[in-house]
Amino acid sequence: MSIGTDHIRAKEKGSFLLIVGIMLFASNLRAPLTSIGSLVPEIRESLGVSSTVMGAISTLPLLAFAFVSPFAPKIANRFGIEKTIFLSMIMLALGIVVRSVTGISALFIGTAMIGIMISFGNVLLPGLIKMSFPFQIGLMTGLYALFMNIFGALASGISVPLSNNFGWQVALGVWVILIIITLFIWYPQLKKTKPQIHLELAEKKQKTNMWTSFTAWQVTLFMGLQSLMYFTCLTWLPDILQSNGYSSNQAGWMLSLMLFALIPVNFLIPVISDKLNNQKLLGALTGIVFLLGTIGLFSSHFIVTIMSAVFIGIGCGSGYSLSMMLFTLRTKNGYDASELSGMAQSFGYFIAALGPIIFGGLHDLVGSWITPLFMLLITGIMILITGVLAGRKVIINN
């Protein structure tokens, strides 16, 4: 009786540490990226570089997501998912340190390392959750999305005060502390004898080819298009609002409102979608709120602008969380979930990286934001269509 009780307690302790480890790991997936956004003018002046150079640096993580994501599941299968996550966190810490060293070369190299290492977390977490918590996928997905975006918003908010008091290098480098805490909590996961992902592979006689599946492509397009909306609005929303007569301070607060609006949705959508027979309605609603938010940007009315920022934030939160859920709901096991996640995030973030560039290019070409906003309307319609298609109750088997 005592032995059985001890075994149950040990198992509960292991599950608790895994949950805490996942939440801490998720907390590191946005903070290193959002911490630099508000510091761009200061870094640009400090290093004496152009806005184009800083723009290229901002694009590096997205390109890393696009090119590295397909390889993350294969590396995790080779070394074990727990060890891969642990090593990626060590390299992420190193990237943050390198980026914090004064110099444009260090900034480029460190940012590239950060993007590469975050790619592993983006891809592997859905698969890990499907394997470790098969009956709580919605709750766990919602929690990790919640932690990821809360810390992302926190990093954006405290960067300027930290920089004003200690310099931008410290403001960027302070996030190493969170990684060290995460490594300490995650370390017990390395003691597992056999990573579950290997056991799943051993049972599989034939690997699923995601690249030939129509459902996988529907999920991929939904993932990419909602990411395009997020990064395009993140980049250009303040400029659009300033052209409508708002001050830079007011535009900045509207962007903050957009980012805060997505946080509760990040948690709720996975929980709701896990209880539904299919996710077609959620996919359609994601496209609809994006459309409503974009339409509102044609107006300069204060209330309409507030509603637009909130709608776009809701769309961003819904689109991201629903994408993460689709990786697990449309696949048979954790390995397939990681494979679909790798494919969708590879192609998806490539689309996302093009969005801000095309949007800004259209503005330069026509001299106004009207035409670029029509581009976002078309994107919203495509999100609605792909969301309905990807939301069908289908398991990828081919």
Q: How confident is the model at residue 59 (pLDDT cuts 50, 70, 90)?
A: confident
| Average pLDDT of the residues in 281-309 | 95
Name the least confident of 34-43, 204-213, 354-363. 204-213
Q: Is the confidence at residue 217, as pLDDT, over 60?
A: yes
What phi and psi values does residue 6 have, to the nearest 5 degrees? -60, -40
Q: In terms of pLDDT, which residue wins out, 5 or 221?
A: 221
| Average pLDDT of the residues in 3-7 | 48
Residue type, 219: V
pLDDT tens-place string over residues 161-203:
888 889 889 999 999 999 999 999 999 888 764 444 443 444 4
pLDDT tens-place string over residues 343-357:
998 898 889 888 888
Q: How confident is the model at residue 8 (pLDDT cuts 50, 70, 90)?
A: very low
The pLDDT, as a whole number, for residue 6 is 47
What phi and psi values does residue 299 have, to the nearest 5 degrees? -105, 155
Q: In terms of pLDDT, which residue wins out, 102 or 263?
A: 263
The pLDDT, as a whole number, for residue 200 is 47
The pLDDT, as a whole number, for residue 70 is 86
| Average pLDDT of the residues in 263-283 | 92
Please state, in angstroms and rounded to a whole number, the distance separating the CA atoms of residues 209 and 190. Answer: 29
Q: How confident is the model at residue 13 (pLDDT cuts 50, 70, 90)?
A: low
Supply 262's token pair: 């997505």
Name the least confident of 42-51, 78-87, 94-103, 203-212. 203-212
The pLDDT, as a whole number, for residue 197 is 45
Q: What is the 3-state secondary structure (H, E, C) of the chain?
A: CHHHHHHHHHHHHHHHHHHHHHHHHHHCCCHHHHHHHCCHHHHHHHHCCCHHHHHHHHHHHHHHHHHHHHHHHHHHHHHCHHHHHHHHHHHHHHHHHHHCCCCHHHHHHHHHHHHHHHHHHHHHHHHHHHHHCCCCHHHHHHHHHHHHHHHHHHHHHHHHHHHHHHCHHHHHHCCHHHHHHHHHHHHHHHHCCCCHHHHHHHHCCCCCCHHHCHHHHHHHHHHHHHHHHHHHHHHHHHHHHHHCCCCHHHHHHHHHHHHHHHHHHHHHHHHHHHHCCCCHHHHHHHHHHHHHHHHHCCCCCHHHHHHHHHHHHHHHHHHHHHHHHHHHHCCCCHHHHHHHHHHHHHHHHHHHHHHHHHHHHHHHHHCCCHHHHHHHHHHHHHHHHHHHHHCCCCCCCC
Q: In terms of pLDDT, which residue wins out, 160 or 348?
A: 348
The pLDDT, as a whole number, for residue 335 is 81
- Which one of 66-70, 140-144, 172-176, 243-247 scores highest in mean pLDDT? 172-176
Please state, in angstroms and rounded to a whole number, the distance separating the CA atoms of residues 69 and 370. Answer: 34
Q: Which domains does the chain have, with CATH numbers?
A: 2-203 (1.20.1250.20), 210-390 (1.20.1250.20)
The pLDDT, as a whole number, for residue 9 is 52
Q: In terms of pLDDT, which residue wins out, 23 or 35?
A: 23
The pLDDT, as a whole number, for residue 195 is 45
- What is the model's pTM? 0.80
| Average pLDDT of the residues in 268-291 | 94
- Which one of 159-163, 232-236, 281-285 scores highest in mean pLDDT? 281-285
pLDDT tens-place string over residues 296-338:
999 989 999 999 999 999 999 999 999 989 998 999 887 888 8
